[in-house]
Every structure is written in C-alpha cells, then in structure tokens.
Structure 1
Amino acid sequence: MDMALAMTFLQIARTRSFLRAAEQLHVTPTTVSARVRALESQLGRLLFVRNKAGAVLTPAGEQFVPHARLLVQVWERARHQVAVPAGRRAVLSVGCEVSLWDPLLLDWLLRMRSAAPHLAIRTEVQAPGELIEKVATGVLDIAVVYAPQQRPGLRVELLIEEKLVMVSTTPQPGLPNPQDYVYVDWGGEFALQHGMAFPALSNPGVSVGLGPLGREYLLAGGGSGYCRLEVVRGLLETGRLHRVAGAPEFLYPAYAVYAAEGEAAVVEPGLDGLRHVAGRRQHGAEVATPARAKRRARKSA
C-alpha cells in the first residue's frame, strides 16, 4: 500500500475534515479525496461519510484505524533504520514540548552521547498533540510532554515533577501589582489553579504562551510571573530574579510517552537517559556536562 494513503486516512480520522487534513498535509483537497477513493477501492469498503459537520468514520473505517497506524509505524521505523549513519546501529527519535526542552532535552542529548554512542539521535520540538500523534504513528520513539492524553497502545511514564514558582525582578514581600504581572500560559491545569489563587490577576495586561519568552520578557522589562524553578534557579542565586514570598507554587510534571510495542533495544536506552537526567534534577543535582566542567575549572583556578 502507498503510505501516503494510510497517512491521509489517519489525518482525516484525527481532524474529522478532508479540508483540514489537506491543509496539514500540504496538499490540495482534490488530492485528499483522490487518495481516499483509491484506499476505499483497494479495501472494497467505504471509510468515511461526509456531511456538513465534516467527515465521520464508517464502521469499516473505525476497524481500519489501528491497522493504518501499524502500517505507518512499521514504514517509518524501516525508513529510519535504513538511514542509519555509518558507525551507528539504530536511530532513536525523540520529540519534546517547547516549554520542556530547556534544560531537560539538552542534558539528555549530552548524556546520550556517552551512554549510547551506538545510537544516532534525532530530536524535534513541537506542540504536544503533534508529538503524541507522531509517537502513535511510529515517527517518534519517545515524546516528552506535559499533561499527555492517554491513547491506546501508548505508555506514559512520569519523569519529573517540577515546580512553577512566582518570581519577580525586584524583591517583593507580597503579591505583585497587576499592572506589572506577566501571565505565562503553562497549560489548562495551571490556568485553572491560577484563576482560583489569583482572581485579581485573571485578566493581565501581558500574556505569553511560551515559558522561555516569558522569562526573557521579565528579565528585559521587569515585573512578576510564573517560571519553572529549575530553569530560573541560577537567576535566583545571582539575584537577577527573586521568589515572591507567600505565592503558591504549582507542580509542572514532565512525562515520557512511548509505544508499548516499541523496539526495546532502541527505546530503553533513551528512557534510561531521560530517567537519569530527570532524577538528578529532581534531587537538585547539576547534570555534569563538558561546558559546566570547564566553568567549574575556571572558577577554581
């Protein structure tokens, strides 16, 4: 089977729309319709019913979903393995949510360089929904996300429970001035807890949807907002930022998501590396890297 047919089918099943599937696949709606007709002809069954609301799977379409995912997963795995660089035995593909890559993914990459030199590493940073979909279809081996959705065939493992803490560019004895507050969007659960804790800050003048952007905005323009403790720990130690006394703290866990039937020889070294760097950070230990070793050497010289 042409993999484009299976991928198109899965995209329509996910979006429930031929038009949205065409947009996300970067093809024309005519191409999407032609692919569906070709797939239905090969299977001898109608897969979708189209109506004003979009596209609905038929019973045959529902039955074909897990088979299409398996086809795509096997194909992507084969494509990656064929492209293994010289001197490596396999390819490990890992994706990470934008707000979680720093410093977890960087520390993991440095760890894997010495812990699993036989693996070629490929990483990408994307939105959580796209990452989970790629794990489900075999494009990625592991995704590191916050608040993952449970899906059949996928395993979810807690890596680390980080804290979101309110910080300010100036020492503050109490809650911040709403005019100086920057709301950093850390997801739906945070929004709910934040709204209950700070009704007066529910409609701030500045809102940002990316943690690193919120942190840099605070450092450049001043004010208060919530940041990941592990990321701002150094800034707190140097006095560039200050924790707001009495402000509630919120948990911000990171999870590893991977296929239950994934290739253990490839996935397990990656998971072990993530557990290692997450465990060290959970206990407040700095992850050793060559750059940090050089900095320590310069300080002690």
Structure 2
Amino acid sequence: MQIELIDTFLDLCETKSFNQTAERLSVTQSTVSGRIKSLERVVGVRLFRRSRSGTALTIQGLRFEPHARSIRHDWVTALNATRDTAIAGVTIRMGLQHDLLGIEIKQLIGRMRDVLPDTAFLLEADYSSQICADLISGKQDIAVLYSPIIQPDLYFETLGEVRYVMVSTQGNALAEISKQTYILANYSASFAHAHAALLPDFTHVSLSIGQNAAMVDLLTSLSGAAYVLEHSAKALVASGACHLVQDAPPILQSVFVGLNVRNRHRTAYRKLTKALHEQYAATTSARSRDR
C-alpha cells in the first residue's frame, strides 16, 4: 500500500474537505479523490460519505482511522531507523489526547524543543485507551491523556486540568435546553461520571460524542446544546453560533502524563515531564485568570 493513500485519508479525516486536503497536500482535488478510491478498493469498504453538508467518515472509516494512524506511525518510525536524521538519531514518540491538540499546542512544542533541542518529536493524537496500549507496546514513549489505565509497566502523574462548559443554540439557561436536542459529551470516564452526578436529567439522550472537535462541528451544523472545551465555547459564542449556558456547572477534566516505568528516571524524560508540568500548570493558571 502506498503511504500517500494513508496520508491523504488522515488529512481528509481532519479537514473533512476534499478541496482543503488538496490544497494542504499540494495536489489536485481529483488526485485526492483518486487516492481515496484506491484506498477504499484496497480495504474493500467505503470510508467516506459525501453529501451537501460536507464529507464525513462512514462507520467503517471511523473503525479504520486508528489503524491508519498506527500504519503511518510505524512507517515514520521505520524511516527514522534507516536514515541519518541529523538530530542525533533521537526521536521521542508522544501520544496526545485528541481534545488537547487545540490547547496551546504551539507553546507545548516550544517547551519540548527548549528542554530537548537535539530531539525529534513525533506527535500522535488519539484516545486514552489506545494511547495507554501504545505506551505498553512501546509505540509511544510518553503521553498526555485524560484516563490513565493502571498497568505494572506504566507510571502516571497529574499535570493539571482543562475546563468544559455548556453552550447552546437555544438559549443561555438550563430551563431553555431541550433534552431531545441535547448532545451528551463522553470525553472520558471521569467526565461522564461528573456529568451524570451534576446533570442526571441530561444523561439518557439519543446522541453522544467523544471528541471536542466533532462536538463543535455538530453544534455549528445542528441546533442543540453540549459541553465543549472553554476555548471552543468562547469561539462559538464570539461567532454568534451559540450562547453560554450561564447556570450549567462547568466540568473539570484532569490531565495526566504517562510513560513506561523504565523511562521514569531517565534524564530526558525527567526534563520533558517537568516541561509538561509547567505547560499545563500555566494553562490552568491562565484559565483561572480569565474567569
């Protein structure tokens, strides 16, 4: 299989636009369409659904996405192993919770480069369960995630918190929120537990989403209400797409760093862990000042 097919698939998963993916990859739209059709012939299923409202993954596409990320990860790792990268041959593979990609990612990368200037970083976004599995298997060296899975070979520390708030297209009070159009966020087990305790009447609904970016897309294309990350809520309110639900309680989500216990006391990982503590402590502090 050509790796360009996987790269195109993963880019389209992010942009949800054949035109935008073509621009980002510096190819024509017909090339993007051809690559996706070729990949669909290889896997034997349809991966994307196109309609007037845009491009979306099919059920089979959703199932294929994490495996595609693994294929690309293994390919890049294989290339790094066979090439002189001029960065002392050191690459640290870092897993990152999907929702954290949009939070001060530029500052995060800057901190990592400051403490380990001679290191190449390979970042992969995923969900906590897959990230922990990759830490155990050795596919990831270190990770920032929501839900640690306790294993003898893994070590975790708490870094800080991120804040989710409720927004709605219907009004700015809970009394105006319809349960029929409420979208239940399922960002982590701890988030779900907190949500059920705070808002038991909004727990049993017909639609649930486990990713902040997907939730934002739904809120901008459908009417309803849901919890999103605070910075996403500010953008939705500023654009006029949503109102902040003033009396809905915020939900705090803890953020953890995880790594294999064999790396816990190694100098590079100690430096990186310290930088991550500083990053998410600063994020938590900035959030508190904004309130």
Q: State the TM-score, normalizing by the size of structure 1.
A: 0.60
In the alignment, structure 1 residue 146 sits paired with structure 2 residue 149:
no
SS at 1:161's partner residue?
strand
Q: Which amino acid aligns with 1:284?
A: A
Moved more, 267-276 or 223-232: 267-276
Q: How does 1:147-166 map to 2 (within 5 A)?
A: 147-166=147-166
Return the alpha-carbon distance in structure 2 between the equivalents of residues 110 and 165 of structure 1. 28
1:120: Cα distance to partner?
0.7
1:253: Cα distance to partner?
0.9
Residue 55 of structure 2: aligned partner: none
Measured on the aligned residues, the alpha-carbon RMSD in Å equals: 2.9
Q: Which amino acid aligns with 2:151?
A: R
Q: Once the two structures are superposed, what CA deviation does each residue of 1:113-141 show, in whole Å capped at 9, x if it has no partner?
A: 44432111111122322221222333322
- Rg larger in structure: 1
**Quick one: structure 1 residues 83 and 136, their matched pair in 2 at CA, closer, same or farther if it must change by over 3 Å?**
farther
**Quick one: structure 1 residues 209 and 266, their matched pair in 2 at CA, closer, same or farther if it must change by over 3 Å?**
same
Residue 129 of structure 1: aligned partner: 129
Q: How does 1:270-281 map to 2 (within 5 A)?
A: 270-281=272-283
In the alignment, structure 1 residue 269 sits paired with structure 2 residue 271:
yes
Between the aligned residues of both structures, percent identity stands at 22
Tell me the matched-pair count.
Answer: 209
**Quick one: structure 1 residues 238 and 141, their matched pair in 2 at CA, closer, same or farther if it must change by over 3 Å?**
same
In the alignment, structure 1 residue 257 sits paired with structure 2 residue 265:
no
Q: Which amino acid aligns with 1:277?
A: Q
**Quick one: structure 1 residues 207 and 87, their matched pair in 2 at CA, closer, same or farther if it must change by over 3 Å?**
closer
**Quick one: structure 1 residues 117 and 224, their matched pair in 2 at CA, closer, same or farther if it must change by over 3 Å?**
same
Moved more, 131-140 or 149-158: 131-140
Does the CA contact (< 8 Å) of 1:166 and 1:224 recur in 2?
Answer: yes
Q: Which amino acid aligns with 1:128?
A: S
- 5+ residue gaps, structure 1, are 1-76, 286-301
Q: Once the two structures are superposed, what CA deviation does each residue of 1:240-263 show, in whole Å capped at 9, x if it has no partner?
A: 433212212222111000122217
Residue 246 of structure 1: aligned partner: 247
Q: How does 1:147-226 map to 2 (within 5 A)?
A: 147-175=147-175, 176-226=177-227
Return the alpha-carbon distance in structure 2 between the equivalents of residues 221 and 132 of structure 1. 33
Does the CA contact (< 8 Å) of 1:81 and 1:91 recur in 2?
Answer: no
1:182: Cα distance to partner?
1.4
Q: Which amino acid aligns with 2:108?
A: W
Does the CA contact (< 8 Å) of 1:90 and 1:266 recur in 2?
Answer: no
Does the CA contact (< 8 Å) of 1:219 and 1:240 recur in 2?
Answer: yes
Moved more, 195-204 or 174-183: 195-204
1:169: Cα distance to partner?
3.0
**Quick one: structure 1 residues 254 and 267, their matched pair in 2 at CA, closer, same or farther if it must change by over 3 Å?**
same
Q: State the TM-score, normalizing by the size of structure 2.
A: 0.62
Q: Which amino acid aligns with 1:198?
A: L
Return the alpha-carbon distance in structure 2 between the equivalents of residues 231 and 153 of structure 1. 35
Q: Which amino acid aligns with 2:122?
A: R
SS at 1:121's partner residue?
strand
Does the CA contact (< 8 Å) of 1:91 and 1:266 recur in 2?
Answer: no
Q: Which amino acid aligns with 2:285?
A: H
Does the CA contact (< 8 Å) of 1:93 and 1:142 recur in 2?
Answer: yes
Return the alpha-carbon distance in structure 2 between the equivalents of residues 88 and 218 of structure 1. 46
Does the CA contact (< 8 Å) of 2:185 and 2:208 recur in 1?
Answer: yes
- 5+ residue gaps, structure 2, are 1-76
Does the CA contact (< 8 Å) of 1:173 and 1:245 recur in 2?
Answer: yes
1:84: Cα distance to partner?
6.1
Q: Once the two structures are superposed, what CA deviation does each residue of 1:136-190 show, in whole Å capped at 9, x if it has no partner?
A: 3333221111121222132211112112211123542334111231112122233
Q: Which amino acid aligns with 2:94?
A: V
Does the CA contact (< 8 Å) of 1:96 and 1:144 recur in 2?
Answer: yes
